[in-house]
Structure 1
Amino acid sequence: MTARKISIHEDRFDTKGVTIAFTAPTPHDPTLVWACADHPDPDLFHPTDDASLAAALAICAACPVRELCLALGQARDEYGVWGGVLLESGKPQAGVPRRGRPPKVGTAA
């Protein structure tokens, strides 16, 4: 078996981020109005507590492209609030993850 020679530009496009950007691109339609586009604190959409999650969800509540945003977040396996839903690896989450070990689930005696 012989080693295949890699061109100088070939390895630069072999990442998950580039692949996802081609399969689920953000539409550049000037008629789409994203509620979060001009928000001064983008970290708000990566909440660390319930208060910041509620603030992000309030911004998303009135967004006209909410369904499109959620679809993009799920297709790209994103983290954070997308389309009014908290995602982790593109999957909806019930709430903000807590630090430490999760609580033990009691068994019926």
Structure 2
Amino acid sequence: MVLENRITLSAHRGFFGLISKEVRGITIDWDDDLEYLKLKVYIEMGASQEVCEDMDIAYTDIIADFDFKRVYDIECVFTDEEISKLTEYRMWYFIRKEDNNSYNVLG
């Protein structure tokens, strides 16, 4: 199976039931040779730190499915900036629907 599909399925399992309404977007990056894995979660301003802790639990589950040589700490960013202006890694795993969301997920 292609690595992107494996990561997506692993993320689905890891995040299942943990994405709360405060999570605005989740973006993932990796190297095809399993050199590294990175994950960034955008969370709305004012959300509790508990949201980031839930995302850390999911990230740990994803990491456990692979043998990456380097795993970066999850980056939780508290922001109200438009999704289209946020940094995207290799792929968006999740984007929350927002009224001002002009980001075209399909390219």
TM-score, normalised by the number of residues in structure 2: 0.29
Larger strand proportion of the pair: 2
Answer 1 or 2: which has greater helix percent.
1
TM-score under structure 1 length normalisation: 0.29
Greater Rg over alpha carbons, structure: 1
Say which structure, 1 or 2, has more relative contact order (CA 8 Å, 6+ apart).
2
